Amino acid sequence: TAESFASWGKELGADMEPLYVRLPGRGIRFFEQAFDDLPKLVEALLPELASIADQPFSFFGHSMGALIAFELAHAAKQELGVEPAFLFLSGHRAPCLPNARKRLLHTMDEGSLHKALVEMGGLGESPLSAEDLAPFMPTLYHDFKLCETYRYEDRQKLNSHAVILYGLDDPWIQADKLELWQNEFSQEIELCPFSGGHFYLNHHPSAVIDRIHGRLQTQNERRKVQ
């Protein structure tokens, strides 16, 4: 959720303004129905992006958020004629790769889904019980359907700088094939590994923030020189 990253703003510095995307079905929008279709979600986000697209901007997204950021960047390029300076894409396989799971999570019953998420580490180190997770199940089903029905399109490469962040032990991302993200960008991508699994950033928040701040700060300094 956006609230998970609220503390990051203080560490990014006064010269950068973090803006948080609050999606339906979570946080303060918990009682709204979540999107289960990525193109419709991107379409809904685009007008919000248009309101700030006259100034430099970058995206950070983790897991499903990385996929949303990637597709929103393409939509911004096509519809608004602008691109993010940076795309910080965390915890997601290269989009050209198919889902490696034999059974789709959004088709499972609640008991099977909870068991699968626990086994894959998808609920963190202290997973909720099936009973405690029940209120969040509708949003989880929508999220997994959004990701598992995603249809990759081979398009013109993005000109953004891409930084691919990931946990070395993340079973979700096909880490040995992350270099395939390069196919999506005209500039050389940067791979940034961290120890840990899918939720590696919970253990290395300062290191992740430092990496983001450093790249954005360098970009800002270059812009000032120009």
Q: What is the pLDDT of residues 26-77, one digit of tens each?
A: 878 888 888 999 999 999 999 999 999 999 999 999 999 999 999 999 999 9
For position 17, what pLDDT does the model report?
86
Q: Would you tell me the crossing angle of helices 137-148 and 64-75 to the nearest 10 degrees?
A: 50
217 touches 87 (CB < 8 A): no
pTM recorded for the entire structure: 0.90
Return the CATH number at 116.
3.40.50.1820
For position 221, what pLDDT does the model report?
66
141 touches 106 (CB < 8 A): yes
Nearest alpha-carbon partner for 105 in 143, 151, 62 = 143
Which residues does residue 61 pair with via DSSP β-bridges, in sequence order? 89
Domain count, the chain: 1
For position 119, what pLDDT does the model report?
75
The whole-angstrom separation of Cα 139 and Cα 34 is 6
Print the domain residue range for 130. Answer: 2-225
Q: Are strands 161-167 and 86-90 parallel, antiparallel or unpaired?
A: parallel
Percent of the chain's residues with pLDDT above 90: 58
225, pLDDT greater than 70? no
* Dihedral sign (CA 196, 200, 205, 208): positive
187, pLDDT greater than 90? yes
Sheet of 86-90, strands arranged across: 59-62, 86-90, 161-167, 190-194
pLDDT tens digits, 110-145: 989 888 888 766 666 667 788 888 888 999 999 999
124 touches 16 (CB < 8 A): no
The whole-angstrom separation of Cα 220 and Cα 64 is 28
Cβ count near 170 (within 10 Å): 24
Report the run of H or E that residue 205 belongs to, with start and end. helix 205-225
Could you tell me the CA-to-CA distances from 7 to 18, 22, 88, 174, 209 in Å, in that order?
10, 15, 17, 29, 10
